[in-house]
A = this chain, B = another copy of it.
Amino acid sequence: MADKLEKTAITPSTHTAPPARFSHGVRKGNLLQVAGQVGFLPAVEGQAPTPAGPTLREQTLQTFANVKAILEEGGASWEDVIMMRVYLTDVGHFAEMNAIYNEYFADLKEAPSARTTVYVGLPAGLLIEIDALAVLG
């Protein structure tokens, strides 16, 4: 029998406290799961979470930054991600999101992760949410 695997919550200092009893990221064994991230700016004490801006570009880039902060705090990088789930609110945003995505991931050194994009409802003002599963090692 192997030793008991440790389970670790990942909470970057840039992040607002989760609005409920969940972790922004969690690592157990060689899996790191990033919770659904949105385009909130780094947390400011005493202020409500604020989106990076009203546009898809602003929110997408901030969402990537928020996912990345969790990956790095957990000892991983984009190279370790095997799946990203992208939730958009508008089918009309697909082409623009892909352009931002390609730009952002242009320098990826390993195989890009798999991805699923679907169109759902999100809280008012939010245009994109992304979560990610990484395999470390």
* Interface residues, chain A, with chain B CB atoms under 8 Å away: 2, 4-5, 7-9, 18-31, 33-36, 79-80, 82-85, 87, 91, 94, 98, 101-102, 105-106, 108, 110-124, 129, 131, 133, 135, 137
Does A2 lie within 8 Å of B135, measured CB to CB? no
Given known A-B contacts A9-B111, A20-B102, A30 and B33 have beta carbons under 8 A apart: no
Does A35 lie within 8 Å of B118, measured CB to CB? no
Copies of chain A in the complex: 3
Does B9 lie within 8 Å of A135, measured CB to CB? no
| 9 A–B contacts, CB within 8 A, in A order | A5-B30, A7-B110, A21-B105, A23-B111, A23-B115, A35-B115, A35-B116, A116-B129, A118-B121
The residue on B at minimum CB distance from A111 is B9
Does A131 lie within 8 Å of B116, measured CB to CB? yes
